[in-house]
Amino acid sequence: MDITNQTNIPGFVLRVFGGSSKLHPILFSILLLSFLLTLTSNLFVIIIICMDRQLHSPMYFFIGSLSSMEICGISSIMFNLLAILLTNKTHISKAGCFLQSYIYYFFSTADFLILGIMSFDRYVAVCNPLKYNAIMQNSVRVKLVIGCFVTSFLCLLYPTIIIPNLPFCGHVLDHFFCESAAMMSLICADISLIQLTKVISSVFILIGSLRNQRVNDSISSAIKYSRMLQK
């Protein structure tokens, strides 16, 4: 196969669930209902937090941010998936595919990071209740959320720049969206450096959290409390 001719493929074909397209209307109905329930529940959480002043606390601020990220992440997949099931057109442009993949992983990574921040917020609330409001000010909350977005952006920066410029040996993705592993399986070039970068960034985030003394203290406290409850 001529790799040069495969580099500039116009787009990808998503092999959505495979099998007969006769099941697509049923799948469309189920997924649409699930999508609407997810959107409604997350929007309900955001609206309640915004309207109730008693919920204007750091914990609920992070919960609202988490709900917003979940809406953005799932919407990046579901709109295109529902359109495919409705029209049976499984083609997606190369730019659209990479954009979908980036948006999904960007918000998924930020989701993971903000969960860590929420655990830190609970640590401060439990271990430093008198200083909690002074520590978790509005500016601090906003900076922490922005930090999640910046970290997510930096983690995805190298693969986002490199992968679109690599040669592809095929255009059929064995997935219902532009999933990273499915796309990388079609690449003709050596992707060991990209995989190594992903592993390093993941380990860096994990080890960075575990090396945080406050996180270690909170884990130790949780273990002690669980032992006390068992007694």
Q: Identify the domain containing residue 74 by its residue range.
A: 12-230
Nearest alpha carbon to residue 182 among 191, 172, 195: 172
pTM reported for the whole predicted model: 0.81
Whole-number Å distance between alpha carbons of 208 and 210: 6
Q: Residue 87 in contact with residue 25, Cβ under 8 Å?
A: no
Residue pLDDT, tens place only, 39-89: 999 999 999 999 988 888 888 999 999 999 999 999 999 999 999 888 888
Transcribe 37-70 into DSSP letters. HHHHHHHHHHHHHHH-GGG-SHHHHHHHHHHHHH
- 87 in a structural domain: yes
Whole-number Å distance between alpha carbons of 26 and 37: 17
pLDDT of 192 strictly over 90: no
- 176 in a structural domain: yes
- 219 in a structural domain: yes
- 7 in a structural domain: no
- 2 in a structural domain: no
- 1 in a structural domain: no
* Number of structural domains found in the chain: 1
pLDDT-based confidence at residue 2 (cuts at 50, 70, 90): very low
Nearest alpha carbon to residue 149 among 200, 102, 83, 212: 102
Quick one: how far is CA 20 from the chain centroid? 30
pLDDT-based confidence at residue 1 (cuts at 50, 70, 90): very low
Question: For position 21, which CATH number holds?
Answer: 1.20.1070.10
Residue type present at position 122 = R
- 4 in a structural domain: no
- 103 in a structural domain: yes
Residue pLDDT, tens place only, 128-186: 888 888 888 888 899 999 998 998 898 888 888 888 888 888 888 888 889 888 888 88
pLDDT-based confidence at residue 18 (cuts at 50, 70, 90): low
Q: What is the pLDDT of residue 104?
A: 94
Whole-number Å distance between alpha carbons of 75 and 69: 10
Of 129 and 17, more confident? 129
